[in-house]
Amino acid sequence: MAIVSRGFSGRRSAADVKLPPGQYLTTDFPVLSAGPTPRVPLDQWEFAIDDGSNVLRRWDWKAFRALPSETVTVDLHCVTRWSKLGTTWEGVSLDTLLAGIKTDAEYVLVRSYGDYTTNLPLDDLMNHKAWIAFRFDDEDLAPEHGGPARLLVPHLYLWKSAKWVRGMRLMQEDQPGFWESLGYHDYGDPWREQRYQGDE
């Protein structure tokens, strides 16, 4: 049972009804990362998909940017409780990147410059639910927000949308990533409020 906070009425708006439980609305774009912001020169950037033993696909920046891209407008929900609605991104769909790869893998470990990792079920990256994004609000993605390119998986808490991505591994077995090893939820659905380890 919640304890009523004597004298607290809170601030609420009609927009709150669209938010997942425990979130509040923000209009700016806070930053959360575990270490310094890596600076990745575009001529050294790459994105690779492997299965643990073989590299299945690899793109340099030029090849990556030559892929068909999509512009999407999505809501963001950070585990630190802010939500930002209607953000517009340009990116390459994971469906495009994974096209033609035959695999029985069920999980993915995404890795970043700066050694960050995060894990997701492969299904959560398919069917136009995830992108490698390189533009935000009609501008090249700033380094502190994950540029040159970041994963965008808006239906999960934002820590799953790894910044500064460099590749991903297809896996049969789930393997926790960085925050998932440090007390945060393995899946991270904001609508079920899966913030921390053990949340239902």
- For residue 126, give every residue at least 6 positions away whose Cβ sits within 8 Å of its Cβ, in sequence order, or none: 94, 95, 98
- Enumerate residues 6+ apart whose C-beta is below 8 A from 137: 87, 88
By CB under 8 A, residue 86 contacts other proteins: no
Give the C-alpha separation, 71 to 136, whole Å.
10
Stretch that binds other proteins, among 35-43, 46-54, 59-67, 161-169 (CB under 8 A): 35-43
CB of 107 to other proteins, least distance (A): 20
Closest CB to other proteins among 4 and 68? 4
The 146-185 contact track toward other proteins, x by CB under 8 A, reads --------------------------------xx-xxx--
Q: Is 6 a residue that touches other proteins (CB under 8 A)?
A: yes
Residue 46 CB, nearest approach to other proteins (Å)? 19
Residue type, 183: G
Q: How far is the CB of 16 from other proteins (least distance, A)?
A: 9
- CA–CA dist 200, 185 (Å, integer): 9
Would you tell me which residues interact with other proteins (CB under 8 A)?
Answer: 2-12, 22, 24, 26-38, 80-82, 114-115, 144, 178-179, 181-183, 196-199
